[in-house]
């Protein structure tokens, strides 16, 4: 046990506090979410960084000579290629380097590993502004979301994975004297226990949250002793490339083979994901993305962790302040143009309307209330552009263009608004569709992007049954519910929890169902079709290594 | 949180001590392994019990009316049917009852559940002698092994599962006030977290260790809130039937639906295992048995835990006291006639022999030394019958009859010996085969039962490489190694651990590679072909439930 590891000692206070937070699950972060908490010149330097790196080779990686340089990212704000190229080598070279690095990494003790990883997170936090601009110009997230989601919130999730692994691996003795009384004598054995990583991990990133959805798996792999290859989405490489580079630098400083983590970039026309995923030496695969590819990943005979599509519901039963509720829902639907896996899609409203402190609001009034709130938000020059960001992919935009074919009646059309900073930004505001519960086949699938169905049901009981059925059949990552009735609240909680879906009740103001905070909220439960893994349960960690014990007479 | 649960309070000292033992992994058990530690008249009552139950219906279960009565167990000691019949209902009835009971059980809190389960273990300990005779007359285990393996050692493993689950589920807050500073105000949410069982569990038992290999999964299911159906091997029902009955009695006393656990017995001619395993309502399957059926179980799209076949090796390099080593190996090979999943099969010896304190022993001398030790043990009238027990299955006996066809040269033939108490017992002593490492295809599979290969290799390096290759390709549950050289010890440890196989070094005297102690040794690592699960890692527990959190504004 090498608790004297310098970096472990340096970060011991953080590690100890995080260990407590893991259990108590109150608010916790060592990485403040406000840009103001960081270097005053950070933003300026970040702007300079993105200008400098565009149309250049990304040369910060320490993973050896490139065989070629690839990169086809496009900025949704500029609608131009950003021109950054990343080093590329053959599949076998990635795997061989990972294999060699794995041996080195496996021999570091858990304290050394934790120290290195928390140090890496600190270095990454020095690059938050660079990562922010890289995130904006790949995902289309607006500035503040880019900063928070790819910066502090990602670091929180990464730290959570490190600490969950640290807790588990330090949970049993590394060695002991086992003494069994046998009556006339004692049987004595020396024993040791080792947590041995399963092998090389592949982490497959997504286009919308290239850091947030990658680092939990990456840091989970690393703390459990597994070298990792990061295969980002070909349209969102730069943000995670910076993260990989910072980890590699810390590894190199500590005389550890930096190929413990490698970036494996590709392009849409020459994808390498399946070749990597199917390689015999890859033992762990983490994936975030569409369900079809996720199901393929799950069918591999490997240890796999997936986050796939889901259909998130909001159940409207009764509220005290309708305006506050509509405003909250509007923000959740508009935030990053509904391109969050936690965005609400289906809003269930009883045909007899909802009770409010000011009397009953009819279904029609609810529909128009939601539409009005969305319109007010997107048309607000101080808030619209910064909330919506830009549309990441053409596919999402095309879905919006065909919104009339989805069923129901489009009562609020999607439109574009002006982003003063980025005149060419690809922007689309949410479309709202009013529809009957009978048209189940219209709203029973994920329509990724800014599309909201307001579904008229016979009763709140029907709303609950539909939300439950959808979560069971199609998966759900989150569920919002508004009710002032305690029994109804209990019924909703039981129904949705039974299909392994968490519920957020009566959110208004600054609480949004989209947000899942590290060290408190689990993200995806792993219990329904939205994915088989959960950030960050013990299971997310312990499936990555094997306990082996030896005995010595 | 209902820490005031009466049974939890009653057993709190045990639970607390077991929680510590889980981490420290020194010797621990609340259930002494000597029969003398239990009721003086226990053995007499056990004998009376087995006499009374034979040729009768097993009527202790509290799972409702039988549709029919089935049972075809045969005593390997008497070579006669024991005539016990068990209640049988349709697959749908089992599942419906489990489903109803699950709802009830899921609503008990973790403290209540732990209290009930530890109380059940105490009740089971009052039946150890009954279970001993039931185990003898189904598995062929000799008296002392039946007592220890199906009694205290099983209870240890069951308790270990309960405590691992208790630790995990109590590891995070059940609710908290989450307060996030937002600058001008605090965002406050109330949150709760629930560990929700995945659904009904099926536990498929084996013929040789009907209790030991069933209760870890059963108690793991129960502590994590999952109703369970026990499908024992049709030839080894009675021991686990008693266990199920005792649990049901405690459940009923506590006003919990006793169908939280049900026994589903069948016969070899009308098996129900696949129907149960494939039923949509069964979410968890635990299985111990042959690899072919285990692979089928693993192919089900469910959460499955398997212990399959493996090939266990002993690597002989150098020893101080050869006679003590041969005696130890002989005992490991003879114990329960090699019908343990931890029995050694392949003994690797370099062609130049092994160093001892008295000079080098040639390969031939090692072979004859092992044979002599086996012969001395089986021919010892005070030890032979009690060590060997009886052969559980005709298949094992037939394998021995064809031992000449396995390859190599049979240098010690299997024979029968007299068991004074059971003249008709089905007994077979170990056969020893000398063979060259070149005949890999002869020894590269599990030959279940008392068959030992002593394999001549070019060097210890070859011995290690072969043991490693076998563990990787065919799986291994344990490995014994004898060396007086520190570097060789390190090499063996690294090589075998890299294929997720634990090593026991230089065992002599009362330490045997066959034994894996709860609260200390993991049983099966889950990392190689011998099975995908490990008793009792955190993974064995956490895959059985899903964390779901709710948030309240």
pLDDT on residue A222: 98
DSSP B366-379: HHHHHHHHHHHHHH
What is d(CA A199, CA A284) in angstroms, rounded to the nearest whole number? 7
Q: Are residue B294 and residue B400 in the same domain, yes or no?
A: no
Q: Which residue has the higher pLDDT, B4 or B534?
A: B534
Q: Are residue B203 and residue B324 in the same domain, yes or no?
A: no
- A399 occurs within a structural domain: yes
Q: Which residues of A touch B27 (CB under 8 A)?
A: 178-181
Provide CB contacts within 8 A for A4, sequence distance 6+: none
Q: Are residue B303 and residue B324 in the same domain, yes or no?
A: no
pLDDT on residue A27: 97
**What's the average pLDDT block by block, 10 residues per block, for chain A (553 residues)?**
79 98 97 97 98 98 97 98 98 98 94 98 98 98 98 98 98 97 95 98 98 98 98 98 98 97 97 98 97 95 95 97 98 97 97 96 98 98 97 96 96 97 97 98 96 98 98 97 98 98 98 97 97 98 98 98
Does residue B2 register a pLDDT over 60?
Answer: no
Q: Are residue B271 and residue B351 in the same domain, yes or no?
A: no
pLDDT on residue B382: 95
Q: Which of A176, A542, A553 sits opposite B505 (nearest CB)?
A: A553
pLDDT on residue A192: 98
pLDDT on residue B386: 97
- Please give the helix or strand (H or E) that residue A549 lies within, else none: strand A545-552
Q: Which of A308, A339, A362 is at the close of a domain?
A: A308
Does residue B310 register a pLDDT over 70?
Answer: yes
Does residue B1 register a pLDDT over 60?
Answer: no
Q: Which residues of A touch B507 (CB under 8 A)?
A: 551, 553
What is d(CA A358, CA A320) in angstroms, rounded to the nearest whole number? 8
| CATH, residue A496 | 3.40.309.10
Residue indicated by tokens 């202790």: B60
Q: Are residue B369 and residue B301 in the same domain, yes or no?
A: no
Count the Cβ atoms, other than its own, within 10 Å of residue B90: 12
Q: Are residue B31 and residue B48 in the same domain, yes or no?
A: yes
Nearest residue to B306 (alpha-carbon basis) of B317, B315, B295, B320: B295
Average pLDDT over all residues of chain B: 97
Cα-flanking dihedrals φ and ψ of residue A26, to 5°? -80, -175
pLDDT on residue A5: 87
- B538 occurs within a structural domain: yes
User: Total structural domains in chain A?
Assistant: 2
Q: Say if the Cβ atoms of B504 and A179 lie within 8 Å.
A: no
Q: Which of A25, A522, A546 sits opposite B500 (nearest CB)?
A: A546
Q: Which of A278, A308, A338 is at the close of a domain?
A: A308
Does this model's pTM top 0.90? My answer is yes
Q: Are residue B342 and residue B304 in the same domain, yes or no?
A: no
What is d(CA A246, CA A60) in angstroms, rounded to the nearest whole number? 8
Q: Say if the Cβ atoms of B171 and A508 lie within 8 Å.
A: no
Q: Which of B503, B510, B537 sits opposite A542 (nearest CB)?
A: B537
- Please give the helix or strand (H or E) that residue B13 lies within, else none: helix B6-24
| CATH, residue A132 | 3.40.605.10
Q: Which residues of A touch B552 (CB under 8 A)?
A: 504-506
Nearest residue to B7 (alpha-carbon basis) of B106, B121, B138, B143: B121
Domain range enclosing A462: 313-505
pLDDT on residue A363: 98
- A66 occurs within a structural domain: yes
Q: Which of A276, A308, A340 is at the close of a domain?
A: A308
pLDDT on residue B5: 87
Q: Which of A178, A517, A552 sits opposite B27 (nearest CB)?
A: A178
DSSP A139-197: H---HHHHHHHHTHHHHHHHHHHHHHHHHHHTSS-SEEEEEEE-SSSEEEEEEEEEEEE
- B521 occurs within a structural domain: no
Nearest CA in chain A to B510: A187
Read off the pLDDT of each residue in B458-463 and give the average, rounded to a whole number.
98
Question: Distance (Å) from the C-alpha of residue A16 to the closest C-alpha of chain B?
Answer: 16
What is d(CA A76, CA A73) in angstroms, rounded to the nearest whole number? 9
Q: Are residue B492 and residue B543 in the same domain, yes or no?
A: no
B450 vs A186, A537, B433, CA distance in Å? 29, 44, 11
Q: Are residue A203 and residue A112 in the same domain, yes or no?
A: yes
Q: Say if the Cβ atoms of A180 and B548 lie within 8 Å.
A: no
- A392 occurs within a structural domain: yes
Count the Cβ atoms, other than its own, within 10 Å of residue B153: 23
Of chain B, the percentage scoring pLDDT greater than 90 comes to 99
- B209 occurs within a structural domain: yes
Q: Are residue B229 and residue B260 in the same domain, yes or no?
A: yes
Nearest residue to A345 (alpha-carbon basis) of A491, A466, A257, A518: A466
Q: Are residue B184 and residue B205 in the same domain, yes or no?
A: yes
Count the Cβ atoms, other than its own, within 10 Å of residue B181: 10
- A538 occurs within a structural domain: no
- B514 occurs within a structural domain: no
pLDDT on residue A521: 98
Q: Which residues of A touch B538 (CB under 8 A)?
A: 168, 171, 538, 542
Residue B3 pLDDT level (bands cut at 50, 70, 90): low
pLDDT in tens, B60-109: 999 999 999 999 999 999 999 999 999 999 999 999 999 999 999 999 99
Q: Are residue A317 and residue A274 in the same domain, yes or no?
A: no
Angle formed by the axes of helices B128-139 and B143-150, nearest 10°: 120
């Amino acid at each position: 046990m090498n608790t004297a590891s310098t970096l472990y000692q340096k970060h011991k206070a953080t590690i100890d506090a995080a260990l407590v937070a893991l259990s108590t699950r109150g608010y916790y972060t060592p990485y403040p979410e406000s840009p103001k908490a960081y270097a005053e010149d950070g933003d300026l330097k970040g702007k300079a960084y993105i200008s400098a790196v565009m149309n250049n080779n990304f040369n910060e990686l320490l993973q050896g000579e490139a065989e070629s340089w690839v990169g086809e990212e496009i900025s949704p704000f500029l609608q131009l290629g950003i021109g950054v190229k990343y080093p590329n080598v053959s599949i076998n070279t990635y795997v061989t380097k990972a294999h060699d690095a794995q041996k080195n990494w496996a021999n570091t003790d858990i304290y050394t590993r934790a120290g290195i990883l928390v140090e890496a997170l600190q270095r990454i936090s020095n690059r938050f502004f660079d990562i922010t601009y890289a995130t904006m110009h790949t995902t289309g997230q607006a500035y503040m979301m880019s900063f928070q989601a790819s910066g502090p919130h990602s670091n929180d999730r990464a730290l959570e994975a490190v600490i969950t692994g640290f807790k588990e691996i330090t949970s049993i003795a590394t060695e002991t004297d086992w003494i069994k009384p046998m009556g006339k004598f004692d049987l004595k054995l020396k024993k040791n226990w080792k947590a041995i990583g399963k092998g090389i991990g592949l982490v497959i990133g997504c286009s919308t949250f290239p850091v947030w959805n990658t680092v939990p798996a990456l840091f989970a792999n690393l703390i459990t002793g597994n070298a990792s290859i990061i295969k980002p989405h070909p349209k969102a490489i730069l943000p995670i490339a910076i993260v990989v580079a910072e980890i590699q630098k810390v590894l190199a400083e500590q005389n550890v083979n930096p190929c413990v983590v490698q970036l494996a970039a590709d392009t849409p026309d020459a994808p390498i994901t399946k070749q990597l995923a199917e390689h015999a030496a890859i033992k762990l695969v983490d994936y975030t993305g569409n369900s079809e590819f996720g199901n393929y990943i799950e069918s591999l005979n490997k240890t796999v962790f997936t986050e796939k599509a889901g259909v998130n519901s909001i159940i409207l039963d009764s509220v005290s302040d309708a305006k506050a509720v509509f405003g909250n829902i509007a923000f959740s639907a508009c935030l990053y143009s509904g391109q969050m896996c936690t965005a609400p899609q289906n809003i269930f409203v009883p045909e007899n309307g909802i009770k409010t402190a000011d009397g009953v609001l009819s279904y029609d009034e609810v529909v128009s209330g939601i539409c009005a709130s969305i319109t007010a938000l997107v048309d607000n020059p101080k808030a619209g552009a910064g909330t919506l960001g830009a549309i990441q992919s053409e596919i999402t935009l095309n879905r919006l263009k065909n919104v009339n074919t989805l069923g129901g009646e489009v009562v609020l059309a999607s439109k574009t608004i002006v982003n003063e900073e980025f005149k060419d930004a690809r922007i689309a505001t949410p479309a709202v569709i009013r529809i009957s519960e009978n048209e189940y086949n219209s709203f029973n699938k994920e329509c990724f992007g800014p599309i909201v169905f307001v579904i008229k049901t016979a009763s709140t009981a029907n709303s609950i049954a539909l939300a439950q059925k959808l979560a069971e059949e199609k998966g759900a990552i989150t569920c919002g519910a508004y009710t002032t009735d305690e029994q109804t609240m209990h019924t909703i909680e039981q129904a949705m929890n039974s299909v392994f879906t968490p519920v957020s009740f009566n959110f208004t103001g600054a609480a949004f169902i989209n947000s899942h905070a590290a060290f408190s909220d689990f993200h995806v439960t792993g219990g329904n079709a939205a994915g088989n893994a959960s950030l960050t349960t013990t299971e997310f960690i312990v499936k990555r290594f094997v306990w082996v014990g030896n005995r010595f007479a």
